[in-house]
Amino acid sequence: MTGHDNFVQTMQSQVGKSAHDPSTIRNRYPNLKVGSQILSNGNVEEEFRIGGPECRVFFEVEKATEKIVRWRYQGSDRTCFIAV
């Protein structure tokens, strides 16, 4: 497993969790939050500095259920990683 594979697997494991779950990355590392915005569907997208200095991770939190429903990242395989 590469560092990028570990990153992808870790971020994907957040999907389906409650936004209030203390084990989520967004709650364990609130200091890494960069900002948030309301999406056209009414959900909130939160941006975090996770996985490397040039990597940004975005979690979409569904308004109705307050669950993480999706994630995406900006960066590359080389800039978005978690050491294995």
Asked, for residue 49, whether it belongs to a domain, the answer is yes
Residue 82 falls within a domain, yes or no? Answer: no
Whole-structure pTM value: 0.93
Structural domains counted in the chain: 1
41, part of any domain: yes
**Does residue 84 sit within a domain?**
no
* pLDDT per residue as tens digits for the range 24-33: 999 999 999 9
User: How many residues are present in the chain?
Assistant: 84
Residue at 79 is within a domain: no
Per-residue pLDDT tens digits for 12-23:
999 999 999 999
Q: Is residue 45 part of a domain?
A: yes
pLDDT at 52 exceeding the cut of 80: no
Determine whether 23 is exposed, middle or buried from the number of CB atoms within 10 Å of its CB (0-12, 13-18, 19+): exposed
Say if residue 84's pLDDT is above 90. Answer: no
Residue ranges making up the domain that contains 14: 3-74
